Amino acid sequence: MTHPKDVLIDWLRDAHAMESQAVEMLERQVDRIENYPDLLVKAREHIEVSKRQADRVRQCLKMLGTDTSSIKTGIGMLMGNAQSLSGVFASDEIVKASVFNYAFEHFEIANYRAMIAAATTAGQPEIARILQQSLDEEVEMAGWLEQRLPQVTATFLARREAGATVEAKR
């Protein structure tokens, strides 16, 4: 038998990997974004948000008497796809990255919802409360991306039509 607390610990370790990958992914993106200053500002901001979210996950693991030591590979495999996506040197990568970020935020949202439910079931309301803060931030980011996606796409198409084919620095 596996206690809900042990499952929660497992998922928190996954979440730590998830946030670490989010930071890496966004850092790669900010190196490549130009012509979209608001995306750049928001991506930089979300790097700091994601670092705080990783801190919160570590805090939760500490409250459960453990840490991030167990290496998780599942999320790493998922993010292998993210790397190939965000690493694509294509002129439409700003749109591809925006689509991916929007999907990724929902992946994070779903994971936080599951972890909050698990924390509640495991009798850890304080952990549920801490994770709720990160969930709220992911919902905000997803909403922002949702609002911006049509305009980013329109801007990209207008730039391409005008002959500005280089959308990345390298």
Residues that bind Fe ion (CB under 5 A): 22, 50, 53, 108
Q: What is the largest distance, in Å, between two alpha-carbon atoms of the chain?
A: 63
Q: Is the Cβ of residue 113 or residue 159 nearer to Fe ion in the bound state?
A: 113
- In our burial notation (b when 16+ CB lie closer than 10 A, e otherwise), range 140-162 reads ebbebbeebeeebeebbeebeee
* Burial of residue 86, with CB atoms counted within 10 A of its CB: 0-12 exposed, 13-18 middle, 19 or more buried: buried
Q: What is the DSSP letter of 65?
A: T
Q: Is the Cβ of residue 124 or residue 134 nearer to Fe ion in the bound state?
A: 134
- Minimal distance in Å, beta carbon 33 to Fe ion? 18
Q: Is the Cβ of residue 16 or residue 167 nearer to Fe ion in the bound state?
A: 16
* Burial of residue 44, with CB atoms counted within 10 A of its CB: 0-12 exposed, 13-18 middle, 19 or more buried: middle
- Minimal distance in Å, beta carbon 70 to Fe ion? 20
* Burial of residue 32, with CB atoms counted within 10 A of its CB: 0-12 exposed, 13-18 middle, 19 or more buried: middle
- Minimal distance in Å, beta carbon 138 to Fe ion? 5
- Minimal distance in Å, beta carbon 50 to Fe ion? 4
Q: Is the Cβ of residue 108 or residue 167 nearer to Fe ion in the bound state?
A: 108
- Minimal distance in Å, beta carbon 165 to Fe ion? 32
- Number of C-alpha atoms within 13 angstroms, CB side, residue 2? 7
Q: Is the Cβ of residue 105 or residue 167 nearer to Fe ion in the bound state?
A: 105
